[in-house]
Amino acid sequence: MKTNAIVAGVGMTTFGKQLDRGLKAIGGEAVTAALADAGITGDDLDAAYVGNAAAGLVTGQESIRGQVVLRGIGLGKLPVINVENACASASTAVNQAAAMVSAGLYDCVLALGVEKLYHEDKRKSFAAFSGAVDVEMLQEFMAGLKKQADAAGASSAAEGAGEKRSMFMDIYAAVARNHMDRHGTTVEQFAAVSAKNSRHGHLNPRAQFRQELTVADVLAEPMIAEPLTRPMCSPIGDGAAAVVLVSPERARRLGIDKPVRIRSTVLHSGWDRGPDDEDVARLCVTEAYEEAGIGPDDLSLVECHDASAPAEVIAYETLGLCAPGEGGRLVEAGETTIGGRVPVNTSGGLLRKGHPVGATGIAQIVELAEQLQGRSGDRQVEGASVGLAHNGGGTIGTDAAAMCVTILSN
């Protein structure tokens, strides 16, 4: 979908473990910051789209999550649309908000992503991920993962999925083993993704983890599911991110001197497809490039859904940053670090910035918008002009359940 929506303001909390704060406090902080950044008040908003994936399971808040969060900072009356779409909840909220602004139905819209995943009972946190598959097929799905792990001699991956960790780490581990078998990708190359993102996250004051790691450090950490060590797996987290989208006319009236435009935003779900057919991510990427009138060579930077280190390697290939099978060598060569050909996850990515599921998609938009406006301090990408956000979630069969790709430019 082509859009003319302009980013008027962004706001984001620090991501991390916030057991002493609820959804209202976390979400309210991000909204207040975004409104201030846009130079408006809540009275200027026409509507709000609020992304959240797991509050029902983790906090017990169902049905009116967005209304509860916004009323906590005194915002009522306006239409509130609650958006739940797995890890793509927040990017879906942006997709819908941009559509309404571009259609001329709204002039000024808030998109918020907010999540609390940490809980005293870790099983509640992991249950939030186990529900992001077809639960009627869950036992069969888990048995398939165990069978694949056993066949590969992956003892850690053969037990504990969904109990000691998110079951999605076992999915990513299986994907990693397959990539290694097919393309010769090495565990050191996967570790290089985590090390690179740790360097970026070290420079991000809002990142959940800020310790710099080397490849050797990453490989020395505890094994989660072969070949993934702990730093190769994104952590759960609490946090929120918000963006205010306006029409070009409203942007002019607000006097925005460094406008960032959402050039395209594409949302699709997976489908039953052949093993050699393009997947939902490739479909979204192709459409997004076509609608924005650009290609991968035009990108200044990327925020991709690195829920695991191998997920980032595969994203390189999906986005056309390199040929299929070359993702490991791309990161190893330093092409995706700040100062490289196309920096990826300058925020630290999900691996270091953290992954509060319902907030992640807008956190990517916040990073890109600030980069395109030259506001990213020590991690600023020189001359940044075009950014892409790649955000997906859930699994059905062999494909993501939801995928959203958004392209922004200054």
- Consecutive H or E run containing 285: helix 280-292
Residues near 322 by Cβ (< 8 Å), separated by ≥ 6?
A: 316, 329, 330, 335
**CB distance 242 to 11 below 8 Å:** yes
Question: What is the DSSP secondary structure assignment for residue 87, as one 8-state letter?
Answer: B
Question: What is the DSSP secondary structure assignment for residue 380, as one 8-state letter?
Answer: P
- Consecutive H or E run containing 370: helix 357-372
Distance, in Å, from the CA atom of 57 to the CA atom of 62, rounded to the nearest integer, reads: 9
**CB distance 264 to 406 below 8 Å:** yes
Share of the chain residues as helix, strand and coil, in percent rounded to the nearest 5: 45, 20, 35
Residue entry with tokens 């997976």:
270
Query: Residue 73's CB: how many other CB atoms inside 10 A?
Result: 15
Q: Which residues of 38-70 are buried (b: 16+ CB within 10 A; e: fewer)?
A: bebebebbbbbbbbbbbbebbbebeeebbbbbb
Q: Where are the beta strands (DSSP E) in 179-332?
A: 223-225, 228-229, 239-246, 260-268, 301-303
* 216 three-state secondary structure: helix
* 177 three-state secondary structure: helix
Query: What backbone torsions phi and psi does residue 366 show, to the nearest 5 degrees?
Result: -60, -50
Q: Which of 272, 285, 252, 282 is nearest to 388 (CA)?
A: 285
Annotated catalytic residue 355:
yes
Q: Which of 109, 5, 149, 55 is nearest to 358 (CA)?
A: 55
Question: Which candidate in 87, 108, 304, 404 is catalytic?
Answer: 87
Question: Which candidate in 108, 355, 390, 404 is catalytic?
Answer: 355
Annotated catalytic residue 200:
no
**CB distance 59 to 118 below 8 Å:** no
Catalytic residues: 87, 355
